[in-house]
Chains A and B, each alone.
Chain A
């Protein structure tokens, strides 16, 4: 304690020293202290003003605008998550990709006709029909579904190379412009070597949720 007091006294003497006048009176010492005290007091006042009034006021305004700032941030995040160019690109690709799907189940019949014609072209006689009463309905968020189709194939009269022509026809199925998957193939040959085939197909189609919900 005594040492602290001595230190403070020494510090006071240093701060208030009047050169050439070690025992200058207190009034003059205080005047010598003014140039040092003024900036310190000013700094203290500025700090006090800042902490006691300025910062709380700024903080209050920031808090009041917090929901708006959060909204602005959300908008920025949404913009950053997907850029406009990416949105356009994805939309274009979706349209292009969707072209291999039937836009609606009604388009199935022309497709089946086309398949029959293709079979005829390969010297096979084909009959196709849609399997009704699909056991599982597509989920509500699904954007596409598969229409199951069953078909029977028999070689046309005069088809001397039924096996190669069948293979060629099946290959055409998988490379068709529309999405057609061959999910089952059963091929039988009788005692005389006559071939008959059964196929199960699934044709991809877009889902119309309005209709589904109806």
Chain B
């Protein structure tokens, strides 16, 4: 069920309840006009819009569906008070067979005032603050009001505005009447808004000054402006055009003079928007023969048709704030609704996934329980295997790195190679000390040379040993040379030598 259908159903149910209550309470006296029980109304099409033009006592209504008028109705009696309005509204709803809820109102009423204000050319926000201050002072002197400003034109560095002021009490009364009939008032517009809309559509050149005169029940509205440009001013003449054309003509002429004087704007063409052009000769007579009068046959219903074309977000709408709030609330509600259902869907989806995951985990746990014994056996086997592998690896490392290099034979071979001529070894000893991991050696020998030469030769041999890959290091304490008693048969000198040290020291 869509939102529209649901609300329609709810409203229909509420209507039925209202009807039942009114039958039960017929004996009770009516306290006030706004407590009048409305006749039952079939509510179904929420997209339909009701337009009401309440123009200084004359009331006209029309129903629209997608901006096309479906029904229209005009009240034949004068509607002055809200009580009158309430009574007439029921008849209008019945005649129009209106089943929607949205409604707009084109209002001209003695309590709905339009004041001209001139402000210095401030910024928009400063102008708004200035006007707010003016309205607050007005409210202190009178009562709370709904207000909206309509910029007109700039004259001599001053911004001219029309301040539309509607007493809150009148709005509350009207709204109460409408709410009991489930009508949602979304726009309250002064007649000048559709009037300006029509003024801008007049087939004249752009910025051509024109005056538009509109029949408005027992009064007459006058708007002066430039085509496609700003409005210069507007006024309401409390005289019926059809009954007092001469008086209206005088007032129109005054407006022409005012436009000439204040705005330096010579208007030479009058557009008369009335049901007929019978009064144009009288107007011609009062406004001067040079002025051209063009009659545009217009009925009050036409104002409603113009208004329906105007955007609901038009700035000169006394309820624009309400519309904004309504739109924001609808957005918030929609977002919450979407977030709620999306969240729920996501949560259910997540739960389903979690449940699936848990089911498979449960199956895995059950399987694990079944093979617990084999797992324990596997663990023991693997642990044993890993210990064995570790031992075998340690064994491999020990075997690969533990073998001693062939130091004794290499050292012996090296010394044999570097042994000077006339020298020979008598004792050679190389030992591996496993505890200190050091190869130590001791060499004893004899050399046939004088002491100095022997010392040089032996030192040279030591140097060669120290620089060799065996990296020999000699003990300082060992005696290098000892003179040997000379054999009487031998003529040369013989020296004993002896040195010791370590090789391949880490």
Contacts and interface: CB of A to CB of B under 8 A. Distances in A.
| A, B in one complex | yes
Interface of A: 13-15, 17-25, 28, 31-32, 35-36, 38-40, 42-43, 46-47, 50, 58, 61-62, 65, 68-69, 71-72, 74-75, 78-79, 81-82, 86-87, 90-91, 93-94, 97-98, 100-101, 143-144, 163, 167, 170-171, 173-174, 179, 181-189, 193, 199-200, 204
Contact of B389 (A32, A38, A82, A171): A82
Report the interface size class on chain B: 35 or more
A185 B430 contact: yes
Contacts of B378: 75
B406 A20 contact: no
B365 A61 contact: yes
B14 A28 contact: yes
B70 interface: no
Nearest to B14: A28
Contacts of A13: 329
A61 B368 CA distance: 13
Contacts of B134: none
Interface of B: 3, 7, 10-11, 14, 46, 101-102, 179, 182-184, 326, 329-330, 332-333, 336-337, 340-341, 343-344, 347-348, 351, 358, 362, 365, 368-369, 372, 375-376, 378-379, 382-383, 385-386, 388-389, 391-396, 398-400, 402-409, 412-413, 416, 424-432, 434
Contacts of B405: 174
B379 A188 contact: no
B365 A68 contact: yes
Nearest to B383: A78
A181 to B, nearest CB: 4
Given A21-B7, A61-B365, 20 more contacts: A17-B330, A20-B102, A21-B101, A22-B179, A32-B10, A71-B375, A74-B379, A75-B379, A78-B382, A87-B385, A90-B389, A97-B400, A170-B406, A173-B406, A181-B403, A186-B428, A188-B426, A189-B424, A189-B425, A189-B427
B38 to A, nearest CB: 13
B429 A185 contact: yes
Contact of A167 (B348, B391, B409): B409
30 contacts: A17-B330, A19-B7, A28-B14, A38-B340, A39-B344, A46-B347, A62-B365, A75-B375, A75-B378, A75-B379, A79-B382, A81-B386, A82-B386, A82-B389, A87-B388, A90-B393, A90-B396, A93-B396, A97-B396, A97-B400, A98-B395, A101-B399, A143-B395, A174-B405, A182-B409, A184-B408, A184-B429, A185-B430, A186-B428, A187-B429
